[in-house]
Structure 1
Amino acid sequence: MIRVVLADDQAIVRAGIARILAPADGFEVVAECVDGTEVAAAVARSRPDVVVMDVRMPRRDGLAATREVRALPQPPPVLILTTFDEDEVLWSALEAGAAGFLLKDAGATDLIHAVRAVAGGAAWFDPAVSPRLLAAYRRSVVPDQRQRRRLEELTEREAEVLRWMARGATNAEIAAGLHVSDGTVKSHVGAVFGKLGVRDRAAAIVYAFDHGVVTPGQGPPAS
């Protein structure tokens, strides 16, 4: 079971999400929060695999709550689920440490896939916001030539791991595809973060797309 904490101030929304993320599909909602002030304590208490977080909540919004969760020891990944697709909200979510961003008009299948991916250590971006995500990234980074040189610092295996990450693969899937251990993959992922100057998996994936390491619609790397 994938253990989930839900944070949304609307009871009807929480009920709908909980109905989709049902035990029959491998999920268990272990806590529900009506405000961002409750999330960190709920995470510490229930130790979920993933947090599904709304943005607009009355006392503490989901962005502040995401930062609090990510500051915890061994924090779970956070999937932002919101009706607001403005650039500021999207970029702020990534800056706060969110591993995924999904709009509430997405279908149930997309929600299930997104939660599974984020819980498994991958990242997930709603296709509707991906172009603006890339545009925001381009506006915020150092000149492209300097960024490109960082890719050249990757070893062949590190570049391969980056390609797998960019296609949404978890560490376990990368390990299986490359026939190496999970520990080896974690070591390569850490090296990729350090050499690219990114903080987390989501930023590494954006980097890979923005610099042509992978392209939209491209299949998984050959093992």
Structure 2
Amino acid sequence: MTDGASPDETDEQRSRAEPSSTEPDAADGSEPADDESLDAADGDSLETDVPADVRKYDRFKKIDGGTYDRANEFLRERTYVTAREWAIARLCADFRTETGVEMTKIGENLPELVPFMTDTYTPQAVNQARASFEEKVRKAGATFLYGAMCDFFTAEELDDVMYEATEVAKFLLEVEGVELSVEEELETEDQISEVMRDVREHSAALRHDEVSCPECGHDIDVGEET
């Protein structure tokens, strides 16, 4: 029943009194809004509430909300960080300005930025996750470097460790949306191998009195700067 209509008013009388949905409005000559246009207007209104740089952000699109547990499990098996710490650390790097990290923007738009995150975060929670990520990276770095320098691993074993670590890192980058060419991958692996050879040589100088590497025979100046 239409508001204001008489209970005795027939459907035919009401239809004559109400404007047709297919005819222009008599007052302004414009077409009446249909359901689709109203829905579109509502959608536009919602989009305007989301900052433009958030709408354009296209990382993590390869993981949807239903795969958070799988992503978390993958990271826990191969790294020290959780999916939450990984995603927020990436966002903190991408939304860094001259005055600092836009933690409020990240927290308020977290589900929009990262499909597998379903809740918003306070700026304090964002900062906590970032700090946790940084602490774990530092500890993992110290652990790895000691393992490389203490002569626990052979050169071949250390190469295997580096290969596995590089593969995991490349996979995470690809999930974030970074496209790596074969040439870039090979160049990165060569650079890492070169760095690790230098680490082994200089660590040998710290552990031994000899002036040559105990493995390859390369002469080492123990007093040279690293």
Give TM-score, length-normalised by structure 1.
Answer: 0.24
Give TM-score, length-normalised by structure 2.
Answer: 0.24
Say which structure is richer in strand: 1
